[in-house]
Structure 1
Amino acid sequence: MFIVVQMQAQISEPNSHKSFWQEDFSEGQIPAGWIVKTLNDSSVSWECTNQPYPGSFGHDQQAPPLASKSGGYHLQFSPGVKVDKNYRKWFKAGKWADGYIMTSAIDCSGKNSVVLRFSQNFMWNDWGGVRADAGLFAGVSNDGEHWHEYEVRNQVGSEADCPNPMNVELNISAYAAQQKTVYLRFYWRGIFAWYWMVDDINLSEAPDRDISASSLISHKESGNSFTDRDVFRFNVVNLSAVKITEPFDCYLQLDKRQPLKVTVPFSKSFPLGIVDTVRVEFPPVDMTDYGIHNIRFITSLPDDSRKENDTLNVQLFSKAYELGEITGFSTTGSDFIFDCHHARIRINFCRDDIFRIQMAYNGEFTDPAGNDIVISKPVAFVNVKYSVLGDYYLLKTNNLALRVYKHPMRFELYKSDNSTLVWKEAKGITYGQETVQYLQRGESENFYGGGMQNGRFSHRDKTIAMKIDWNWEDGGNPNPAPFFMSTQGYAALRNTYAPGEYSFKDTVMLQHSEPRFDCYYFTGESLKDLLGDYTLLTGRPFLPPRWALGMGDANCYNRGTNKSRNTTGFKGTTPDVIPLIADQYISNNIPRGWILPNDGYGCGYTKLDSVVKELSKRGFHTGLWTENGVEKIAREVAEYGTRLCKLDVAWIGNGYKFAIDGCKAAYEGIENNSDARGFIWSVCGWAGTHRNSVVWTGDQSGSWNYIRWHIPTVIGAGLSAQNCATGDVDGIFGGSDKTYTRDLQWKCFTPVFMAMSGWAPKDKQPYVYGEPYTSINRKYLSLKLQLTPYMYTLCNEAFETGVPAVRAMVLEFPSDPVCFGTTTQYEFMLGKSLLVAPVYKDEAKRDSIYLPSGQWFDYWDGTMITGGTMLNNYPAPLDKLPLFVRAGSILPMYPQMNYDGERPADTLTLDLYPGADASFELYEDQGSTRDYRNGAFTKTRIEMKSDDLINQKCEIRIHPSKSSYKEMLASRSYLLLVHQKTVPGRVTIQGERCRKFRKKSDFDAATSGWYMDVNDRNGILLVKTGKFPTKDNVEVKTY
């Protein structure tokens, strides 16, 4: 049996005159006469659908659609949907979700050879074990009863990802040639889950003359021990319609050496039969010069009618290959070159505190990432002093000292004194199929970064994956970034698209699956400094439009135009989103942000232009989901007015460069066709995605555990500058009234989030569970909208510095060892002022809330708490999110609105928490255009000086707004909420005593004055200033 599996996205089509039967399912139904047979359970059956595998337990994200050439409708068998987590019951009962689909009879008479081709995508698991006869089988029969089967998983293992598509070619001539009746069958057998998709089934005659350079059989891809007498052996297969009856030549080219030739001596008396294999062997060669070799094997059959399978290119890797000793040294400007036999190492200094190390095993430097990941570098000359000190070279700047040891080559990094260690290699870099750097871990060293690592933010003693594996669950890595930071004052960025793995054990091992090494190193005094340096090179996090801070709502509302049986979403058309969703937000008085009305494979849209206009009238912006590119984005943005693009895994799911390019294309698609800012959602991101896109965790099921592991996920993403990072509210599957409310609560204290309906028994709008949940959800969405100036300023800070809005405790308290590790993984700071401790269990309390040293206010009742303590049994009924404010904080707030821009923000509320001097620089701009990039924004510095928490004398100064933008307010009023227990003797505004009110109703009716509410949150002084020009200084004092 010989199976050809071609894993490219496209394969050569069989010659048109050779193809005699095909089925691409474009009619959207199983062809007439085909037989579908289900065993054990009638609800697990082959079907014809244009939807991918919808998701289930253990694999609850949608699968990517089958990327066949015809696309759209295909055959699908999805036992995972039915078996789900009940596979143990099935196993105990001795039942398996088996099923097959069989074609009607196909006439192959007159065909001397028959080749079966089809495209497939699948994923399977061995949970509960698999039957002895298990597999995914393509079969051929002449009578529909006796079958010859081909197992077509092609060594793709349990839970491993199949190439999409996997294009399969089977020469079935022995069973189909010259046969009047031929049946084909696709049979899922003896496996519980998950799915198999098949499309573009084709029968053709084999080419007249075709041999295939099939495989290298003498060497493994990796782990080889090269010698000076390696013998190469290859398999060559005859895929012709006839026997090969003459000799042909085969060539072997090893690296850049002269090719070797072997003649295979076939003849009429000694032919190579149809689908027969011949072994080709070459004389011994010396392989000891490199740890990596490029092999090219070529078959040369005269008049071969298919050339694309004549050549086999293979890269062979040794076991870990060490660089060895330094054999040469040279320098040019800020570049320092070291030779280690054939290998070459280049060190380049970008700045006094940033440098780059590259290694080329063959002396030829490459840069596959180009300008994709690192988009800008400092261009100033760096004064690097170098010297030779005994057994090492010393490269020294004003900020660092890099030692390069000679025997063998090894690096150590110190501060500029050349004595304070930053990091040192435990052994020299090794290369082969993977390149590894080995660092000695510091005694108390902690590590952060790695992009979005589900369920994790602090990585000491952990191993994290740097690869796209479509694992959306706890422990997965939906948006990795090959970047990490250390508490020892350094960070590293591997400039590569190669997947890898970082192990932060006693010996830190940093591995990527490529033979080259390319790493930028940053040194700094704080983690914030390191984030700034990292984003200086890779780009700052994007500044979202202000409306994007509101809640997003996604589903498909266009299924009425789609005849597929396997769909999600409402069975209507796009305009139905208005009465079904938008008007329901309004009738329930729910704050809102944007709607994605076509979220789902094959959904499409109807009357989009009028839908966008009507949603805008109701306070919603409109976005679109895309599964295959942005070809239509110009019209959708410029004519229809859409302002958001969510990229599906079907398009950018390959990650790496696909994700970088896809996000950039969509982002620029919005900006090139409007005056708006790009606003993109994506998954499978990489280093650099943060500059264009929201990253989210993928598709999961809502639960208490879902809430739990999402907290450190979002925290950790921020430590790789992924400022806008999130997961769907309460997942897209499962969920409940309580988990929805708890999940929404804490996500209101993150920059962006959305809910996705259509996959769970109940939809995911904030009002679907009724009371008390609707009111609680409304409360937190309203608070989020009021806190817009605080959140928007934090997003601008991320845009300017790389420091995220959602901050690990270690970012704000870098000297507190309690904050270094997982003790604080379920709490975070929103900016410098707010500490958020989400509730992630089904209980009305929260344990293990750590408050660092200092004074803290309970946001809800104003209780003062002295820090340096762990709170347990903190009362947290369903409507209460544990929320604390640091003494010495200023929280700016806009008037209550139901959507951004509903009314002018002409009254700015300042929520003031004395106890320490404080300042806040409020950032404001137009909110949706790109004018801010040309200086159209204002910054307003607000300061508070307070004696202490006992005397509570305060001085609040609002400085004149700096700069301007067209839409800025010429004047505004200020409402000050000063948290204090004592009633002041007097309050002055601009040095003049202002009126005291004894009744709250009188104060509310007045334009200026003050009122002391001793019963509100442990005491609040309310001060109205009246209206002042925003270019004026405003000063308020309490005595």
Structure 2
Amino acid sequence: MKTFCTAVILMALGLIVYNQQLHGQTVHFKTANGIKAVVNGINVELEIYNPGIIRVIKYPKGSGFQKRSLAVVKNPDTKVPRRIRITDSSILLETSRLKVILNKKTGKISFCKLDNDLLLSEMDNGAVFKPVKDGGVATFDVKQSFLLEKNEVIYGLGQQQNGHLNQRDQKNLLVQGNTKVAIPFFQSISGYGIYWDNYGPTLFTDDKEETSFDSKVGNGMDYYFMQGDNGDSIVAQMRFLTGKVPMLPLWVYGYSQSKERYKTQFELMDVVKKYRALHVPLDGIIQDWQYWGKDSNWNAMRFDHTTYPRPKAMIDSVHQLNAHIFVVAWPGFGPKTRQYSEFKKRGMLLNFDTWPPKSGAKVYDVYDPTARDIYWRYLNKGVFSLGVDAWWLDSSEPDHLNERNSDFDQKTYLGVYRKVRNAFPLEHIKGVYDHQRATTSAKRVVILTRSAFAGQQRFASNTWSGDVTSSWESFRKQIPAGLNFSMTGLPYWNTDIGGFFANSYIKGGGAKNPEFQELYTRWLQFGTFMPMMRSHGTAIPREIYQFGSKGDTIYDVLEKFIKLRYSLLPYIYSTAWQVTNNNQSFMRALAIDFKQDKNVYDIGDEYMFGSSFLVAPVTKKDAKTQQVYLPADASWYDFWTGVLVKGGKYINRATPIGIMPLYVKAGTIMPWGPDVQYATEKKWDNLEIRIYPGADADFTLYEDENDNYDYEKGLYTTINFHWNDNQHTLIIGNKSGHFPGMLNTRKFRVVLMKHKGGSSVKLTKNVDKVINYNGEKIQVNLSF
């Protein structure tokens, strides 16, 4: 049932300043940023950031509130037209998209559409300030309560391991931890998002009485209301506030291999060589911890000369094999490292126990810009200068062992640690990103990291779900965890394929254990449709040859899906451009694309990957079939058989080990990449263009130099494809843009999937049309 705001005619227009005595209180209105008022002893400020974003600030009268946001990069927009009016009971602010009503008696703020349809309301007297001490500093425990509709569905809060897509009926302490990412943001199916801009431990509560954020420390409360018509537009609003997403290099969308851990440079090199010998595609190899030696030398940011005697030669050899290398770095340092000594001398270490246990390691003050300079100086000299391609910034929560309340009383550059602890990953990742960008523009920053906070998308970070257990239950939880994470505005997310802790499968033969093979295979199928496809774990090595050899069922299935990933690279890279340029997301809860179908609101075991693929990972042991819901108002092609199914119903799909339910939306144009051993092996000069008819379709093929930041200068190309379903015509538009080394002529091999049966991972032999394309618009008819 819809709730409506009080109907009020807003009379005043433009820049007006009021100063009136109301009910014994003085209410001030300043229109440079919005409105300021005092209600029941609480200062209330409403600031306009764009017509659909309002910042709400509250703090007790007599206290001050000034803050430079760590997450938000925008400032209020003083040029947004607004209307303001005062009544006996309310102060009203209207933009071209919103009405905001402040109740002068209770302080309640209501957010409404222009037609008075209520989007969200605070509770009457819902702002609570409880005086507390934080490390001896006077501050407040701040709480704001809201009223949501009974059946309203919300998503977000970061990455939670509760197994739920809908985050209603939850009590969740938002604090960073291994496998848990705390982001105080949610978006509603009703068409809005709330970002609570506080970096301390925050209790999110949703029950029958209220929905609230309660932060343990804060000089005031500070949140942003953002209106959006759907999930994409809410994410766009969040990125408008907190920053856009840079492009990652093409190679990082290929397959990356890791384990805990490669112990010598020779072991690492052998993995790359074996993949090349087996002709299984590979683009990334990851060097985990202790390449520096003993734990007392933890994170020394230089290679131990006994196990890695020639690190530059190792990295050069990886490059000669057309692969790339990640190297791990931590925020903590062992007591015998040069970094530890320098940070300690400067008073830049946080004094609590971190990983590894009993090593004496301490983390540096990531909030201090000078400390971040020092961190990069060592990282650059000892690692990046050798030619390393990407970072694995582990323990970015950070790990906090033997936790004591007093640990959070110590001072950081930005004040008491408790007040900023959830922003630790944001500041840490920021330091590495900013310094690499300042060092070179020839290599795009790539950061794999274990934790995140709002705004971290602007620092090229790809968050993985932490050290999750190798179990079917854990596997199932990763899907809604990733979807909720993506709906906070951070598009890059992945998991350890197969789960990190696989110890329970060792006795059964490890990688030869049939039970682990099944779990790992199903997880890798899921990983094929993540923004990053990366295998990693402890106890059991995960390289493909550990599972058998060519001709063995499991090996062949693993190879099939790795090669499928490479076939998808033109689609994935073009989707990455949509993420960067148009604020879209890779992993998309069905409610984003099919909001009109209420059946999808709480489906957490399926998702869209980009705009075209519906992915339904098999997350139950020994599953012979799987129930899949196909959203309404669309028809769906079974990727494997080509059978067209009308949406709006559940179906049972057979799931032998080589099949994960995968559907392509009718009305799809799908570029299919060449058979390659690494992402840039072949140019896209002979792409297969698969058309799934049944509705009109559009697709934009994006290309650039695959690495470096020249795309920011406009050096890239796009080609728009349009399928007119009624006329059975494909229109390929004029190529737009240019970059060095771009293709001036090419072939497009067009395949109409309606009469081709099932889709093959391999390129189609008999295509419907071969188009010679020289960059100019062309139209072709494809008869059924």
- Aligning the two structures, in what range does the TM-score lie when normalised by the shorter sequence? 0.7 to 0.9
What is the aligned partner in structure 2 of residue 869 from structure 1?
Answer: 649
CA deviations on 1:676-729 (whole Å, 9 max, x unpaired) are 111101123111122221111111221222221111111111111221111101
1:437 is aligned to 2:203:
no
CA distance in 2, matches of 1:537, 1:710: 27
CA distance in 1, matches of 2:758, 2:530: 30
Distance 1:964 1:652, change over 3 A: farther
What is the aligned partner in structure 2 of residue 714 from structure 1?
Answer: 482
Q: How much has 1:367 moved relative to structure 2?
A: 4.3
What is the aligned partner in structure 2 of residue 346 from structure 1?
Answer: 45
CA distance in 2, matches of 1:686, 1:365: 26
What is the aligned partner in structure 2 of residue 617 from structure 1?
Answer: 320
Q: How much has 1:793 moved relative to structure 2?
A: 1.5
1:773 is aligned to 2:554:
yes
What is the aligned partner in structure 2 of residue 459 from structure 1?
Answer: 167
CA deviations on 1:875-918 (whole Å, 9 max, x unpaired) are 11111110011111111122111111112221111111001111
Q: How much has 1:1021 moved relative to structure 2?
A: 6.8
2:265 to 555, 567, 574: 574
Distance 1:1015 1:526, change over 3 A: closer
1:801 is aligned to 2:582:
yes
Of stretches 384-393 and 1028-1037 in structure 1, the one that deviates more from structure 2 is 1028-1037
CA distance in 2, matches of 1:387, 1:488: 26
| Helix, strand or coil at the partner of 1:899 | coil
CA distance in 1, matches of 2:625, 2:248: 32
What is the aligned partner in structure 1 of residue 388 from structure 2?
Answer: 642
After TM superposition, the structure 1 = structure 2 runs for residues 98-113 of structure 1, keeping only pairs within 5 Å, are none
Distance 1:484 1:1014, change over 3 A: closer
| Helix, strand or coil at the partner of 1:672 | helix
Moved over 4 A (4+): 600-604, 650-655, 1013-1017
CA deviations on 1:58-82 (whole Å, 9 max, x unpaired) are xxxxxxxxxxxxxxxxxxxxxxxxx
What is the aligned partner in structure 2 of residue 859 from structure 1?
Answer: 639
What is the aligned partner in structure 1 of residue 123 from structure 2?
Answer: 426
Q: Which letter does structure 2 place at the counterpart of 1:635?
A: K
Is the CA contact (8 Å cut-off) linking 2:720 and 2:732 kept in structure 1?
Answer: yes
Q: Which letter does structure 2 place at the counterpart of 1:448?
A: Y
Is the CA contact (8 Å cut-off) linking 1:555 and 1:599 kept in structure 2?
Answer: no
Q: Which letter does structure 2 place at the counterpart of 1:494?
A: W
After TM superposition, the structure 1 = structure 2 runs for residues 613-1012 of structure 1, keeping only pairs within 5 Å, are 613-628=316-331, 629-635=375-381, 639-649=385-395, 652-653=398-399, 656-674=422-440, 675-692=442-459, 693-734=461-502, 736-757=516-537, 759-760=538-539, 762-770=540-548, 771-821=552-602, 824-853=603-632, 854-872=634-652, 874-947=653-726, 954-981=728-755
Q: Which letter does structure 2 place at the counterpart of 1:452?
A: Q
Q: Which letter does structure 2 place at the counterpart of 1:460?
A: R
| Helix, strand or coil at the partner of 1:737 | helix
After TM superposition, the structure 1 = structure 2 runs for residues 463-482 of structure 1, keeping only pairs within 5 Å, are 463-470=171-178, 472=179, 478-482=180-184
CA distance in 2, matches of 1:876, 1:1020: 27
CA deviations on 1:270-326 (whole Å, 9 max, x unpaired) are xxxxxxxxxxxxxxxxxxxxxxxxxxxxxxxxxxxxxxxxxxxxxxxxxxxxxx988
What is the aligned partner in structure 2 of residue 986 from structure 1?
Answer: none
CA distance in 1, matches of 2:581, 2:203: 30
Q: How much has 1:463 moved relative to structure 2?
A: 2.9
Q: Which letter does structure 1 place at the counterpart of 2:214?
A: Q
Is the CA contact (8 Å cut-off) linking 1:723 and 1:795 kept in structure 2?
Answer: no
Distance 1:890 1:939, change over 3 A: same
Structure 1 length normalisation: TM-score?
0.60
Which has the larger helix fraction?
2
Q: How much has 1:969 moved relative to structure 2?
A: 0.9
| Helix, strand or coil at the partner of 1:456 | coil
| Helix, strand or coil at the partner of 1:847 | strand
What is the aligned partner in structure 2 of residue 498 from structure 1?
Answer: 200
CA distance in 1, matches of 2:316, 2:777: 39
List runs of 5+ in structure 2 lacking aligned partners: 1-21, 131-139, 294-301, 332-374, 401-420, 506-515
What is the aligned partner in structure 2 of residue 412 from structure 1?
Answer: 110
| Helix, strand or coil at the partner of 2:605 | coil
CA distance in 2, matches of 1:325, 1:971: 75
CA deviations on 1:381-440 (whole Å, 9 max, x unpaired) are 1222221223111122221111111222211121124x3211112222111142222222
Higher relative contact order (CA 8 A, sep 6+): 2
List runs of 5+ in structure 1 lacking aligned partners: 1-323, 473-477, 557-568, 948-952, 982-1012
1:528 is aligned to 2:232:
yes
CA distance in 1, matches of 2:457, 2:589: 18
Is the CA contact (8 Å cut-off) linking 1:553 and 1:595 kept in structure 2?
Answer: yes
CA distance in 2, matches of 1:491, 1:326: 35
Q: How much has 1:602 moved relative to structure 2?
A: 4.6
CA distance in 1, matches of 2:493, 2:207: 27
CA distance in 1, matches of 2:704, 2:684: 12
What is the aligned partner in structure 2 of residue 549 from structure 1?
Answer: 253
CA deviations on 1:641-672 (whole Å, 9 max, x unpaired) are 11111112178447533211210111233323
Q: How much has 1:348 moved relative to structure 2?
A: 1.1
CA deviations on 1:247-281 (whole Å, 9 max, x unpaired) are xxxxxxxxxxxxxxxxxxxxxxxxxxxxxxxxxxx
CA distance in 2, matches of 1:895, 1:883: 21
| Helix, strand or coil at the partner of 2:483 | helix
After TM superposition, the structure 1 = structure 2 runs for residues 107-506 of structure 1, keeping only pairs within 5 Å, are 327-333=25-31, 334-340=33-39, 342-368=41-67, 370-377=68-75, 379=77, 381-417=79-115, 419-428=116-125, 429-432=127-130, 433-454=140-161, 455-470=163-178, 472=179, 478-506=180-208
| Helix, strand or coil at the partner of 1:529 | helix
What is the aligned partner in structure 1 of residue 350 from structure 2?
Answer: none
Distance 1:326 1:350, change over 3 A: farther
Q: How much has 1:539 moved relative to structure 2?
A: 0.9
CA distance in 2, matches of 1:667, 1:367: 27
| Helix, strand or coil at the partner of 2:198 | coil
Q: Which letter does structure 1 place at the counterpart of 2:391?
A: C
| Helix, strand or coil at the partner of 2:439 | coil
Distance 1:643 1:393, change over 3 A: same
What is the aligned partner in structure 2 of residue 1027 from structure 1?
Answer: 772
CA distance in 2, matches of 1:626, 1:900: 26
Distance 1:584 1:1016, change over 3 A: closer
The percentage of aligned residue pairs carrying the same residue is 23
Distance 1:733 1:325, change over 3 A: farther
1:588 is aligned to 2:278:
yes
**How many aligned positions are there?**
652
CA deviations on 1:73-99 (whole Å, 9 max, x unpaired) are xxxxxxxxxxxxxxxxxxxxxxxxxxx
Is the CA contact (8 Å cut-off) linking 2:396 and 2:425 kept in structure 1?
Answer: no
Q: Which letter does structure 1 place at the counterpart of 2:151?
A: S
CA deviations on 1:983-1031 (whole Å, 9 max, x unpaired) are xxxxxxxxxxxxxxxxxxxxxxxxxxxxxx67878x9972342532134
Q: How much has 1:745 moved relative to structure 2?
A: 0.7
Q: Which letter does structure 2 place at the counterpart of 1:766?
A: I
Q: How much has 1:445 moved relative to structure 2?
A: 1.1
After TM superposition, the structure 1 = structure 2 runs for residues 12-161 of structure 1, keeping only pairs within 5 Å, are none
Distance 1:799 1:1020, change over 3 A: same
Of stretches 911-920 and 771-780 in structure 1, the one that deviates more from structure 2 is 771-780
Q: Which letter does structure 2 place at the counterpart of 1:422?
A: L
Of stretches 663-672 and 376-385 in structure 1, the one that deviates more from structure 2 is 376-385
What is the aligned partner in structure 2 of residue 278 from structure 1?
Answer: none
Is the CA contact (8 Å cut-off) linking 1:977 and 1:1020 kept in structure 2?
Answer: no
